[in-house]
Structure 1
Amino acid sequence: MSRRTALFLLGFGIWSWIIWITFVKNLWASDNSWAPDGSATGFFVVHLILAIVSFVLGTIIGVIGWRGLRTKRRAKVDA
């Protein structure tokens, strides 16, 4: 993996966390997320699942990028 690709993947993982944290905060505050009795609506549940999946994928992609960068650094040290 090239350094450029590794940096892109790491950056995407970080960006994904920033974006989805903001999304979850806005989702939590939305009137559409809660029924009058205080329970979560279907809108909230679906979007929370979407956010959780995105956190997981962002983490996996970021870890792949981080490992790619570490591999490049180790290759330079060993050379």
Structure 2
Amino acid sequence: MSRRVALFLLAFGVWSWIIWITFVKNLWASDNSWAPDGSATGFFVVHLVLAIVSFVLGTVIGVIGYRGLRARRTEKVGA
């Protein structure tokens, strides 16, 4: 994997976490997320699942990028 691709994947992973943390904060504060009795609505559940999947994918992609950078670094040290 090239350094450029590895950096892109790592940056994507970090960006994904920043964006989805903000989304979850806004979701939690939204009036659409909670029924009058205080229970979560379908809107909340669906969007929370979407956010969790995005956290997982962002983490996996970021780890792949990080490992790509580390592999390139150890290649240069060993060479």
Fold shared, TM-score > 0.5 on shorter chain: yes
The residue aligned with 1:76 is 76
Q: Deviations over 1:9-46 (max 9, x none)?
A: 00000000000000000000000000000000000000
Deviation at 1:49, TM superposition (A): 0.1
The residue aligned with 1:7 is 7
Cα RMSD of the aligned pairs, angstroms, is 0.1
In the alignment, structure 1 segments of 5+ residues that lack a partner are: none
- Deviating beyond 6 angstroms after TM superposition, the runs of 4 or more aligned structure 1 residues are none
Structure 1 residue identity aligned to 2:61:
I
Whether 1:26 aligns to 2:61 is no
Deviation at 1:73, TM superposition (A): 0.2
Q: Deviations over 1:44-76 (max 9, x none)?
A: 000000000000000000000000000000000
Q: Identity of counterpart residues, as a percentage?
A: 86
CA distance in structure 1 between the partners assigned to 2:72 and 2:14 by the alignment:
20
CA distance in structure 2 between the partners assigned to 1:71 and 1:56 by the alignment:
22
CA distance in structure 2 between the partners assigned to 1:73 and 1:2 by the alignment:
11
In the alignment, structure 2 segments of 5+ residues that lack a partner are: none
Normalising by the residue count of structure 1, what TM-score does the alignment of the two structures yield? 1.00
Work out the number of aligned pairs and report it. Answer: 79
